[in-house]
């Protein structure tokens, strides 16, 4: 294995994702992949160890549960700026070269033949196997606290639906949604999807940034956190510590939590859900 990660362009990744590879019946050509990849500065071994640890901690039947464990430790281990994390090449490399076995383990369908969706190897951030976990950790953490990330990644509908919403770039909005899950106001996938639709629809007419302003993020603290990785041991048995770049403004989270509860109460179909409390 290479000692550092690489950057694999989308076009190159697409070339390697044949039908046989997606069905796990054909080996990926690692030598050719290395030739198509540009070098990247991040150490490969620490990241690779995370995927081995996840497959050791969780059985295949528990594979969805691995998301809530892996997202915070991946974010705390692979310390990227948002600009770096927006580069799909690093995620292509992780999935196609560094850990395709994890992608098969986590995302192989039960179809005939079993198959992994192409977007799990190379796709948008909310679908790609590793990008979606890193971005979930980045967008749902509350400053250094990864607790909300565990709640978010413990519900597959949050990853599949809420993570796609542009409104969660507003931190109080993201935290208000997670608070409704943490407080069991919403529990089922159906309720999560209804909430996501209501929040997104309301956001087309209401500026959440104006209604519930946020504190500015401390970009220097984030940069310091990125640069200190070499001196930090990321724990596996407890939540790591995220960047101390400031929490979402709590009065705004409170205001949006109340607003979102009211939005749900105003939706007749939500009130009729049998699981609704």
pLDDT tens column, 54-89: 999 999 999 999 999 999 999 999 999 999 999 999
- Least confident stretch, 38-52, 135-149, 241-255, 260-274: 260-274
Nearest to 37 by CA among 108, 122, 118, 138: 122
Nearest to 64 by CA among 132, 114, 143, 164: 132
Quickly state the pLDDT bin for 277 (edges 50, 70, 90).
very low
Share of the chain above pLDDT 90, in %: 87
Name the range with the highest mean pLDDT among 11-20, 108-117, 190-199, 261-270: 11-20
Predicted confidence at residue 273, as pLDDT, reads 58
Residue length, the chain?
Answer: 277
The stretch 113-126 carries a mean pLDDT of 97
Quickly state the pLDDT bin for 204 (edges 50, 70, 90).
confident
Q: Is the pTM of this model over 0.85?
A: yes
Task: Give 165-189 pLDDT, tens digit per residue.
Answer: 999 999 999 999 999 999 999 988 8
The H-or-E segment that residue 55 falls in is helix 44-57
Q: Are 247 and 215 in contact (CB under 8 A)?
A: yes
- pLDDT over threshold 60, residue 275: no
Share of the chain above pLDDT 70, in %: 95
């Amino acid at each position: 294995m290479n000692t550092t990660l690489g950057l694999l362009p989308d076009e190159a990744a697409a070339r390697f994702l044949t039908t046989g590879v997606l069905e796990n019946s054909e080996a990926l050509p690692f030598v050719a992949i290395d030739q198509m990849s540009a070098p990247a500065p991040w150490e490969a071994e620490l990241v690779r160890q995370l995927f081995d640890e996840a497959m050791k901690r969780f059985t295949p039947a528990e594979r969805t549960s691995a998301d809530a464990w892996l997202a915070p430790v991946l974010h705390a281990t692979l310390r990227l700026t948002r600009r770096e994390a927006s580069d799909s090449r690093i995620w292509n490399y992780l999935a196609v070269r560094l850990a395709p076995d994890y992608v098969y383990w986590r995302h192989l369908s039960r179809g005939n033949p079993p198959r992994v969706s192409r977007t799990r190897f190379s796709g948008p951030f909310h679908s790609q196997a590793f990008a979606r976990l890193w971005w979930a950790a980045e967008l749902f953490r509350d400053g250094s606290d990864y607790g909300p990330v565990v709640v978010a990644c413990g519900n597959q509908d949050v990853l599949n639906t809420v993570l796609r919403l542009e409104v969660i770039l507003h931190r109080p909005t993201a935290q208000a949604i997670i608070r409704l899950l943490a407080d069991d106001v919403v529990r089922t996938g159906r309720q999560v999807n209804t909430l996501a639709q209501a929040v997104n629809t309301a956001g087309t007419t209401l500026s959440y940034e104006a209604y519930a302003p946020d504190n500015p993020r401390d970009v220097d603290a984030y940069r310091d956190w990125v640069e200190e990785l070499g001196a930090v041991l990321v724990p596996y048995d407890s939540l790591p510590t995220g960047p101390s770049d400031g929490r979402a403004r709590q009065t705004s989270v409170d205001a949006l939590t109340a607003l979102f509860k009211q939005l749900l109460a105003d939706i007749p179909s939500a009130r009729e859900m049998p699981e609704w409390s």
